[in-house]
Structure 1
């Protein structure tokens, strides 16, 4: 498991769209699995789940992305899972970190 969290400022829909396009555009094997949206009391929350093939690990890796916003104040939490071939413990997280790098690149562009 690898995790990336960041507070940022911006338009919720614009940031969510840019994150989605960044993940989908970074890999031919990336797929959007499902998502959920919720809003209450001026707070918005979007959850997105992606998956892609990891050449480094030789397997598939998933990433759960959660964006929470109140006005222009946003918080992103992205967690990857999978990518290890060991039975009882993880022997590598290369594919997971590489998947998160796609988000880092998008976030660095803000």
Structure 2
């Protein structure tokens, strides 16, 4: 498992769109599995789940992305999982880290 969290100031919809674009452009096997969007008062929440096939280890990894925004304050949480192989020992070749790094680079460019 890999995890990245950060905050930034910006327009919620633009931040979500930028992350969707950067993640989608990161590889041909990157796939948006599903998403959920919710607004309560002035708080907006977007949850996006991606998966990607990695040929180097023959499996799929997932990226769970949560974006919460309120009055220009935005919190982003990216969690990568499932990139390992093995039944008892989860030996990973870094697939989760690779997926989370896409989000990290995108956020750092927006700051």
Per-residue CA shift, 1:7-62, capped at 9, x if unaligned?
11100000000000000001110011110011112111000001111244331111
Once the two structures are overlaid, the 10-residue window that deviates more, 57-66 or 88-97, is: 88-97
> Which residue in the other structure is 1:51 paired with?
51
Instruction: Using the TM superposition, give the Cα deviation of residue 104 of structure 1 relative to its aligned residue in structure 2, in angstroms.
Output: 1.6
What are the residue-to-residue correspondences of 1:9-28 with 2, within 5 Å? Answer: 9-28=9-28
State how far apart, in whole Å, the 1-side matches of 2:62 and 2:5 are: 16
SS, match of residue 84 in structure 2 = coil
SS, match of residue 21 in structure 2 = helix
SS, match of residue 28 in structure 1 = coil
The answer to whether the 8 A contact 1:67-1:75 is kept is yes
Instruction: Using the TM superposition, give the Cα deviation of residue 88 of structure 1 relative to its aligned residue in structure 2, in angstroms.
Output: 1.5
Per-residue CA shift, 1:41-99, capped at 9, x if unaligned?
21110000011112443311111100001110000011111111111132225000011
| TM-score, length basis structure 2 | 0.93
| TM-score, length basis structure 1 | 0.94
Q: 4+ residue stretches of structure 1 with deviation over 3 A?
A: none
State how far apart, in whole Å, the 1-side matches of 2:7 and 2:55 are: 30
Supply the RMSD in Å over aligned alpha carbons. Answer: 1.1
What are the residue-to-residue correspondences of 1:1-110 with 2, within 5 Å? Answer: 1-92=1-92, 94-110=94-110
SS, match of residue 109 in structure 1 = helix
State how far apart, in whole Å, the 2-side matches of 1:11 and 1:93 are: 35
- Structure 2 residue runs of 5 or longer lacking an equivalent are none
